[in-house]
Amino acid sequence: MSPHRIAGRDQGAPIRFSFDGEAIEGRAGDTLASALMASGVRLMGRSFKLHRPRGVVTAGPEEPSALVTVVRPGRRDVNLPATMVELFDGLEAHSQNRWPRLDLDLMSVTGRLGSLFSAGFYYKTFMGPQGAWERLYEPLIRRAAGLGHASTEADPDSYEIVHAHCEVLVIGSGLAGLSAARAAGEAGRRVIVLEQDRAFGGGALVDGALESWRSSTLAALSAMPEVRMLYRTTAVGAYGHGVVAALERVADHLPEPEPFQPRQRLYVIRARRIVLATGAVERLVALANNDVPGVMLATAARAYVNRHGAAPGRSAVFFVNNDEAYAAVRDLKAAGIAIAAVVDPREPTPIAAEAEAAGLPVLFGHEVTAVRGRRSVAGVRVRKRGTMQERAIACDLLGLSGGYSPQTQLAAQAQLGTAWIEAIAGFAAIGPSPDAEAFSAMIPAGAAAGVFGRLEAARHGAAAGARAAGLASDPAQPPAEAREPAVPPRRDGPIMPLWEVRGRGKAFVDLQNDVTADDMRQAAREGYRHVEHAKRYTTHGMGTDQGRTGGLVGAAVLAAAQGREVSAVGLSKPRPFVTPVSFGALAGAETGAHFKPERRLPLHGWHEAHGAVFVRIGLWLRPLVYSGGDTSWGPVVAEARAVRSGVGITDVSSLGKIDVRGRDAAAFLDRIYANGFSSLSVGKARYGLMLREDGIVFDDGTTSRLAEDHFIVTTTTGKATEALEHMEFHAQCVWPELDVRLANIADHWAQFAIAGPRSRAVLSRIVAGLDLSNEGFPFMAAGEAIIAGVPGRIFRISFSGELAYEVAVPAGHAAFVWDAIMAAGEPDGIRPYGLDALNLMRIEKGHVAGSELNGQTTAADLGLGRMLKKKGDFIGRALAGRPALAAADRLQLVGLHPVNKARRLRNGAHLVSAGEPKRSQGYLTAACMTSEGPHDWIGLALLEGGHGRHGERMIATSPVHDEAIEVEIASPHRLDPENARVKA
Amino acid sequence: MSKPERGLGWGGLPPPGHHGALGRDPVKLQAFMRDAVEVRLAPGMAEALRHAAAGLGLALPGMGESAGTGSATGAVTTLGLAPGEWLALARPEEPGAFARRIASGLEAAASVVETGHGLACFSVSGRAAREVLAKGCRLDLHPAVFTSSTAARTVIAQIPVTLWRKDEAGAADSPVFALAVPLTFAQSFAHFLLGASAGTGAEILPASKD
């Protein structure tokens, strides 16, 4: 057995692991810290800034010093407190921030120059010359300072976010937490208990007298079906109204997650009431060299002895200012560790006097002034308070206890108050005040509320649990003694607030960020008097441990430097997260291709099977071209030519579709659209333009009237959701007096455009119940029909500029109808066309689309100014009349083509004049190869005063492509400006 | 010409069989189809609608009952979506038949708009169903809160969802949750369901019209 194991407490099965490449054996139930301690390893890391040797200080997540990197295949987790790393077979851990080795750190020279590296050092030192910070100083500092280095590879693990609900959430499972959970559970409430440790019990885990209470309480809780106990789960943030985020380390204690198991799980918990039973964390005392490996908090030393059978040293000195810490002294002594001295600055209290009477060497009225030793504690210097005469005491462990700070971070986030409690010399959670109660929903209990003592905390917790469960406290009801721990009431004497013993040597108040008491005084001297300013100036409390062990100590030093009370200076605001949270857990399952959902057309499978190249537009996946992967212009032009010369079919199901009904449907659309719809006859469709309130074009689309009180509105794909919301808002909130009822029918109807001179012939073969002749169903007609046996709707509208129909059928019949149209069109050579060909044809026709409806253009800019109705109000009418929106030099829609027709045009190219090559007068919004000439290019552009500049020659310049192409401005309506084709 | 057969309108869940982890009580996942209409009350017609709905044997939650509840009357399930707004669902019939029946029964008291082909419906059932849905659903699905007559609209995995319980009252131990999402989101929603149920395991059932 290792000499660092305590005899008779070496029971777990052996587990092999490595630290910095050295093979070591630990025991089941060990943390990395306890296993290293039990094998005699003291030096676990180097400090952040000064590279000083550091060992383990605590036994929990508040650990400031023993931060390690754990490496697994494909994984590299950094800055993990060794106190929270559970041992598993094959664990590979590495120390951090040392070069080349932990025991020979050449960077530790910075430690010896430490007096230079005081607060504000960087701000004052690395000031000039200009640019040197980025090029020289920052890279240098980054190499010298810092902790672990994260993996640069993709994270192989999965994560999940889970929503949970309960009536009573209990945070912490110590005496108060378990008592609260039991009280609420017995009241029949749905309870969730969160425990950050791998076992429930909190302080009861290190106190043998509480073991039977712990196990009987846990047995009672596990018998309650509505009580859920989550361990390895840390509440990391409280957000008000009972919302708490908690991180469960599901598989961090395993070599890798089980199949289908996430590595971590982030809970979003919505609780009616929260019992905050987060306990308290022991504080260090600022004294010279209080960071030497072997300086440890008294509670931590006790935990290693009692939980792990690991000996934190062989000969200990304790420096304590309170009676609670004597439990640690007693337990270490019982474990066979020599107690060289207990240094207590107070007068004897009953408990301390008993300890002395039991044979412990207690030095009352004394203080430790410095720690001796460099890489390991060799002894301490002690003196009687108020005297200068010091003496040395040899030891290899200094157990420090400066008191206990209630863990109030979550309380502060939930806007619970904190109050200074003199009896514990700390801030405890109080409240909530009546006006904050609904928001905070939180009841503090036990040590978090400043209630120390085992029996007292259990009772306080039970009362908080009952209150959270909504039970009225009944003074006639005697306390349920069977549920309380069998321990006597607290009879501790008073604590003596003791923050710092001034001496020679660095006295740390923040071990992780290497902040000393002197740094805090310097901050005060230089004007950073507020605790928040001092924090930012010194980095005090900004580490992964958030300054748990020294936060109040630093505040007290800052207060003393200003001659103020620490209760008046206070603590800095603790924002979420309370402990570090991985990005993976925050992202959950929504990563990579699933960062956002994807929308697929009902015919996605058909398109895929027919060689579609898909393009993602917003959430949609749409067929760009049916070419089997060829993304050159050839297949696009071929598809467009097929339409222009024969017939083609394209899937326009992604268009927004809104069913508008009601007596006032027409009046409603008159107000929503800039043009009118009251005048539209039943059985007809009309193009409509929607403006925003500010007069800019919002959306466009066709609207068809199927009955006096029934319209079908289509919107663009991109604005479908916004347009529906816009209409619902106005129907419900702005004009509630109108009888208009909207329904989103976008996904119910699949819609196809069948376009080309042969489209009528093809459709006539499968359409029943509708006369498709030009007279019977002219351009802009709309009606219901049976298409291939399926009841649907047909609209004679055209985006391509050809004779065209849009056919709508219920989506579950889309494949059937599409196949029927393809079969009916086979004699005419029908072929599908994608978004590129659709776009090509609309550019030829001069129709506007998303790149022109860009949130900056007016109807007049797009050449649609005459659509605005002269009579009657509509959204955007007033502001569309602003002078700036009618200025002559506005960017206006034009067509253009290169003078050398085969020169390729590019979207985004700027239009400049030859005389002024650096002043952009507009830009190309769309460009394509045409369906006409062999390799001709055309485009659309927005150009200053463009409506009056047809025929002008300009340069389309694209500096990123190093291109300048001479173009001629023209009308955007290049193809069939008389609209003869669509009316054929 | 062959008779038109209604399809799911999306790619569907993976083939029937087991998915995900073994050894736990797996949930059952199934895609199903419904005819559906959105019913919206015409202004001032509440009394007429109540009367007309009674004539059809249609229970409209919120018309005298509490809002937001689902109600299955015979073959028709009606879900209260908003004040004066309901979704009525039924097993697939001949194209348009369900909508025509409801529309003619309700006449001018409400507008009736067919939306069923635009909905992809899923059922998630079994002891672990709540646990699976909790990986995306922010609502409390505890049987005491989300009862067998509850319906809700929410967002799961960034996708709008209409959620109700398909089981009979008293089946708290093994609930059947039904979820309808816009058809074009179905594939992404299926991805969510498969991911969320991988840890408990899932038994995928063939798509159904029942």
SS3 for A656?
A: strand
| Binary contact (B184, A744; C-beta < 8 A) | no
What is the spatial distance between Cα A707 and Cα A687, in angstroms, rounded to a whole number? Answer: 17
Say which residue the tokens 């990986």 belong to.
B135
User: What is the full DSSP assignment across chain B?
Assistant: -PPP----SS--SSSSEEES-SSS--EEEEEE--EEEEEEEPTT-HHHHHHHHHHHT---TTSSS-TTBEEEETTEEEEEEETTEEEEEE---STTHHHHHHHHHHGGGEEEEE-GGGEEEEEEESTTHHHHHTTT--S---TTTS-TTBEEEEEETTEEEEEEE-SPTT-TTS-EEEEEEEGGGHHHHHHHHHHHHTTT-EEEPPPB--
| Residues A123-173 pLDDT 10s | 676 666 667 767 776 776 666 666 778 888 899 999 999 999 999 999 999
Residue A397 sits in a domain of what CATH number? Answer: 3.50.50.60
Inter-chain contacts counted by CB atoms under 8 A, chains A and B:
151
SS3 for A404?
A: strand
Instruction: Calculate how close chain A gets to B93, using CA atoms only, in Å.
Output: 12
Phi, psi of A267 (to 5 degrees): -90, 135
What is the spatial distance between Cα A870 and Cα A849, in angstroms, rounded to a whole number? Answer: 25
- Is residue A450's pLDDT more than 90? yes
What is the spatial distance between Cα A649 and Cα A642, in angstroms, rounded to a whole number? Answer: 10
Q: Which domain-ending residue is among A377, A401, A425?
A: A401
Contacts of A130 (CB under 8 A, 6+ apart): none
A343 shares its domain with A249: no
A667 shares its domain with A763: yes
Considering the segment(s) B35-116 as one domain, its CATH architecture is: 2-Layer Sandwich (3.30)
Instruction: Calculate how close chain A gets to B202, using CA atoms only, in Å.
Output: 12
CB A58 within 8 Å of CB A241: no
| Binary contact (A602, B9; C-beta < 8 A) | yes
Domain boundaries, chain B: 17-33+117-204, 35-116
- Is residue A50's pLDDT more than 90? no
Q: Where are the beta strands (DSSP E) in A636-719?
A: 648-651, 656-661, 684-691, 697-707, 710-715
Beta partners for residue A12, in sequence order: none
What is the spatial distance between Cα B181 and Cα B136, in angstroms, rounded to a whole number? Answer: 14
Instruction: Calculate how close chain B gets to A163, using CA atoms only, in Å.
Output: 5
Residue A47 sits in a domain of what CATH number? Answer: 3.10.20.440
| pLDDT for A940 | 98
| Residues A887-917 pLDDT 10s | 999 999 999 999 999 999 999 999 999 999 9
- Is residue B66's pLDDT more than 50? no
Instruction: Calculate how close chain A gets to B74, using CA atoms only, in Å.
Output: 24
Instruction: Give yes or no on whether B17-33+117-204 and B35-116 have one common fold.
Output: no
The reply to whether A49 falls in a domain is: yes
A79 shares its domain with A175: no
| Binary contact (A741, B111; C-beta < 8 A) | yes
Total tally of structural domains belonging to chain A: 5
- Is residue B56's pLDDT more than 70? yes
- Is residue A108's pLDDT more than 90? no
Best probe of the A interface among B184, B185, B197, B200, by most A CBs < 10 A, is: B184
The reply to whether A503 falls in a domain is: no
Q: Which two structure tokens, joined as six digits, stand for A632? A: 């050159």
Instruction: Calculate how close chain B gets to A600, using CA atoms only, in Å.
Output: 5
User: What is the full DSSP assignment across A193-211?
Assistant: EE-SSSSS-GGGGG-GGGH
Least CB–CB distance from B184: residue in A741, A747, A813: A747
Rounded-to-5 percentages of helix, strand, coil across chain A = 25, 30, 45
With bands split at pLDDT 50, 70 and 90, how would you rate the model's confidence at A709?
very high
What is the spatial distance between Cα A591 and Cα A67, in angstroms, rounded to a whole number? Answer: 29
CATH of domain B17-33+117-204: 3.30.1360.120
Q: Give me chain A's average pLDDT, please.
A: 94
Residue A658 sits in a domain of what CATH number? Answer: 3.30.1360.120
- Is residue B94's pLDDT more than 80? yes
CB B76 within 8 Å of CB B62: no
Range of lowest pLDDT (A439-448, A861-870, A899-908, B63-72): B63-72
- Is residue A27's pLDDT more than 70? yes
Percentage with pLDDT > 90 across chain A:
88
A689 shares its domain with A769: yes
More confident residue, A675 or A145: A675
| Residues A337-348 pLDDT 10s | 999 999 999 999
Contacts of B154 (CB under 8 A, 6+ apart): B137, B138, B139, B160, B161, B163
Which residues from B are below 8 Å from A270, CB to CB? 138, 140
A332 shares its domain with A249: no
Mean pLDDT of the region B185-204: 97
**Alpha-carbon separation of residue A100 from A95, A105, A512, A752, A952 (angstroms):** 11, 6, 20, 68, 71
What is the spatial distance between Cα A779 and Cα A331, in angstroms, rounded to a whole number? Answer: 94
| Residues A376-388 pLDDT 10s | 999 999 999 999 9
SS3 for A471?
A: coil
Contacts of B131 (CB under 8 A, 6+ apart): B200
Helix or strand run (H / E) with residue A434: none
**Single-letter residue type at A643:** V
Beta partners for residue B65, in sequence order: none
Searching chain A, which residue's CA lies closest to the CA of residue B198?
A260
| Residues A497-556 pLDDT 10s | 999 999 999 999 999 999 999 999 999 999 999 999 999 999 999 999 999 999 999 999
- A35-47: b (≥16 Cβ within 10 Å) or e: bbbbbebbbbbbb
Q: Where are the alpha helices (DSSP H) in A398-500?
A: 409-413, 437-440, 454-468
Least CB–CB distance from B183: residue in A163, A258, A747: A747
The reply to whether A916 falls in a domain is: yes
With bands split at pLDDT 50, 70 and 90, how would you rate the model's confidence at B131?
very high
| Binary contact (A745, B191; C-beta < 8 A) | no
| Binary contact (A604, B191; C-beta < 8 A) | no
A381 shares its domain with A417: no
The reply to whether A583 falls in a domain is: no
What is the spatial distance between Cα A81 and Cα A544, in angstroms, rounded to a whole number? Answer: 9
| Binary contact (B117, A165; C-beta < 8 A) | no
The reply to whether A118 falls in a domain is: no
Q: Which two structure tokens, joined as six digits, stand for B89? A: 């669902």
- Write down the ipTM of this complex: 0.95
| Binary contact (A749, B117; C-beta < 8 A) | yes
Mean pLDDT of the region A829-843: 97
A388 shares its domain with A432: no
Other CB atoms within a 10 A radius of the CB of residue A591 amount to 14
Instruction: Calculate how close chain B gets to A741, using CA atoms only, in Å.
Output: 7
Domain that holds residue A447: 160-280+406-472
DSSP 8-state class, residue A847: -
**Single-letter residue type at A935:** H
| pLDDT for B101 | 94
| Binary contact (A766, B1; C-beta < 8 A) | yes
What is the spatial distance between Cα B116 and Cα A913, in angstroms, rounded to a whole number? Answer: 56
| Binary contact (B184, A654; C-beta < 8 A) | yes
| Binary contact (B7, A812; C-beta < 8 A) | yes
| pLDDT for A128 | 65
CB B179 within 8 Å of CB B121: yes
CB A16 within 8 Å of CB A314: no
A374 shares its domain with A431: no
Q: Which two structure tokens, joined as six digits, stand for B127? A: 């002891």
A675 shares its domain with A824: yes
| Residues A757-806 pLDDT 10s | 999 999 999 999 999 999 999 999 999 999 999 999 999 999 999 999 99
With bands split at pLDDT 50, 70 and 90, how would you rate the model's confidence at A33?
very high
Searching chain B, which residue's CA lies closest to the CA of residue A721?
B160
CB A299 within 8 Å of CB A59: yes
**Alpha-carbon separation of residue A856 from A462, A860, A882, A892, A942 (angstroms):** 63, 12, 14, 11, 11
Mean pLDDT of the region A401-426: 95
Q: Which domain-ending residue is among A379, A401, A423?
A: A401
A253 shares its domain with A169: yes
Mean pLDDT of the region A352-371: 97
| pLDDT for B69 | 55
A419 shares its domain with A453: yes
Q: Which two structure tokens, joined as six digits, stand for A204? A: 């009861």
A833 shares its domain with A902: no
CA A956 from chain centre, in angstroms, equals: 43
How far the first Cα of chain A sits from its last, in Å, is 98
